[in-house]
Chains A and B, each alone.
Chain A
Amino acid sequence: MSGGTVGTLLEVRDLHTTFSIPAGDVRAVRGVSFDLERGRTLGIVGESGSGKTVLARSIMRLNIGTNVTTTGTATFDGRDVLSLPHAAMQDLWGPEMAMVFQDPMTALNPLVRVGRQLTEHLRHHLGVSKAEADRTAVELLREVRIPEPEARLRAYPHELSGGMRQRVCIAIALACAPSLLFADEPTTALDVTVQHQILNLLGREQADRDMAMVLVTHDLGVVAGRTDETLVMYAGTVVEQAPTRALFADMRHPYSEALLRSIPRTNRPSHTRLAAITGRPPDLIAPPAGCAFSPRCPYAQDRCHEEAPPLAPSGGDASHAFACWTPVGSPEAAESFARNVADGLPSAVAVDLASGGAS
């Protein structure tokens, strides 16, 4: 999946995004840093409210409203997009950065024909004639495997199925040949049968066009095999960051492990207890002092509740970083897990039950 062109396309450093609401400041993203090479793919994984969508929208500068504050830097192709004037962003959106949204049912304007939604930015950015734009649009629709593309140009969005609409959205995002594509939960609103087709389509386009892609999802299964690198986010922070292969080979953060464990397995006997993550994500107006996951962590110790662990590589692999005092597989984790089960801590007991009460 990796591309041929080298060099860093996107460099995000210490990005914070805060929404001011009457109840206080919601700190949705709290200090995220990562690099993305040209033509490569990054998966951002986390549950609802972990800040992954806000992160993507912050880099795209799509969080609108006077109550949003974003600090830090996001250097795209040498320019810090967070400090670019709006007019400069309008030149980046489309030919440089594009986004596929979560819900294709709402991402297309219901009152505008598919054709114009596909061509308006083509004509705006590339200055091509209507006829030429229409030809490109037909090409794009064919590329995203939409049958009878000529007829579809004249269709309204409500005349297409959900999967078709997402294909149209992908075609729209690809129209101006961006070098970076954000796909924000592109399959969450779709039928399971369609999800794979859409993910495969995105993967194929990414590889063919040698385009960098950020794939935001709540499903670890989606990033597996589809991304070069993965960020696991929890409560607005990165808790684990590694090449995807390395992450799945050796998951160190208890939250990553819990996410993986909560995917239902078809090879298990039916009625097997699903290892859901107990508790709720923390309040982002007043996040916990220590590790944000500690109240739900089966391996938590006293230290976890008091002191936030830094995101740092450990052992020999410098590319695999995680933020945990009691990483999965460490003796500290095993020790505190046994103690937590004995103390009847719900998070630990649930894991213990799901694994068949081994300890």
Chain B
Amino acid sequence: MLRFVARRFASLLAVLLAVTALAFGAMNVLGDPLFNVVGFIASVDCDAVEAGLVEDVSGQTAGGRGDCEVIAEARREHHLDRALPVRYGYWLSDIVRGDFGTSFKNELPVSDVLRDKLPKSLLLMGVAQAIAVGVAVPWAVAAAYRAHRSFDRASTVGSFGLLAVPNFALGVILFYLFVVRWQVFDSRYDDTDLASRLRSMVLPGLTLGLPAAAVYQRLLRTDLLTTMQEDFVHMARAKGMSDRWIMFRHVLRPSLFSMVTVFGLSTAGMIGGSLVAEQIFTIPGIGRALVEAVIRDDFPIVLGGVVVVATGFVVVNFVVDLLYSLIDPRVRADD
């Protein structure tokens, strides 16, 4: 077990290194970090100014000695004069010490921004996954219990329908029905207490959770039907146990593997979906912060967000691996 955790931890580090290096590289190559720090004067050709080839227009318009000093100062502070891998190294060593840098735009420490936004996004994920699992398990059990009958057929159509609706459309539909039409929920995110926060999470949670529930239902239903063919299920029948007992005590647990695996993987999809859901339902979460930061080329926020999201994804899948061993004693024996 210890070896298993150690191995997982090593792979977590490897994933984080790869993801952050990629994000760091992309941000620096595709964007212009200097421009983000100093603004439009970044385009001043300081070599030409130095050589006197260009007229010094300091104080009037861009392109003077003063501007070049600002630029040089910014280069030093942000290590922009160093090679990309070296800059990545500086950035990484800051991260390790818990320093995510400060936002280019409002000078706020990135860690403060993350601390403010992250809990809201985590709550949204939690609500969404709870809805997904809470809907999928009874749904799949009911469908498998009377497989190929009318309820099962109808739920096949229903789940494919849910899967076919893009999440932005689902979000807008829910928003229209429950906020605009029936006015069951407020349009704005309410941060007063946990109850109101949870209430604000219902619609975005459904937006993210229902399509995931459809995926889980398909997988779980199929696995339930496969497990129901197992000898040990015939054995349980031959012992005279009730159908309900057999379903919940013998069939359900061995059938959870695919669903649990996809639960971990779908976390990534949900992070993507949360960008949309947070936008529609005006939740000031990390998804929205990331979208805004990308638009504004706010490197430190984007990179900080990427680190947090990637860590979250790897941690969830680590938990999923632990879940396997919780479900199946034979997995425990292997590690």
Contacts and interface: CB of A to CB of B under 8 A. Distances in A.
B330 interface: yes
B241 A121 contact: yes
Q: Sort chain B's interface into a size bin.
A: 20 to 34
Nearest to B333: A158
Interface string A70-107: 00000000000000000001111111011101010011
A107 B235 contact: yes
Contacts of A248: none
A124 interface: yes
B231 A172 contact: no
Nearest to B231: A106
Contacts of A95: 240
B329 interface: yes
Contact of A99 (B238, B241, B249, B328): B238
A108 B329 CA distance: 14
A312 interface: no
A66 interface: yes
Given A101-B231, A103-B231, A156-B329, A109 B236 contact: yes
Contact of A98 (B148, B239, B253, B330): B239
Q: Sort chain A's interface into a size bin.
A: 20 to 34
A124 B235 contact: no
B254 A111 contact: yes
Contacts of B329: 110-111, 156, 158
A84 B242 CA distance: 16
Nearest to B328: A111
A11 interface: no
A150 B114 CA distance: 54
Contact of A107 (B232, B241, B249, B254): B232
Contact of B238 (A93, A106, A109): A93
A110 B234 CA distance: 14
B10 interface: no
Interface in A31-71: 60, 62, 64, 66
B239 A172 contact: yes
24 contacts: A60-B238, A62-B238, A64-B234, A90-B242, A93-B237, A93-B240, A94-B239, A94-B240, A101-B231, A101-B234, A106-B231, A107-B234, A107-B235, A108-B232, A109-B254, A110-B232, A110-B329, A110-B330, A111-B253, A111-B329, A156-B329, A172-B239, A173-B238, A176-B239
Given A93-B240, A94-B238, 10 more contacts: A90-B241, A92-B240, A95-B240, A99-B238, A103-B231, A108-B232, A124-B242, A156-B330, A158-B333, A172-B235
Interface of B: 148, 230-232, 234-242, 245, 249-250, 253-254, 327-330, 333
Interface of A: 60, 62, 64, 66, 89-95, 97-99, 101, 103, 106-112, 120-121, 124-125, 156, 158, 169, 172-173, 176
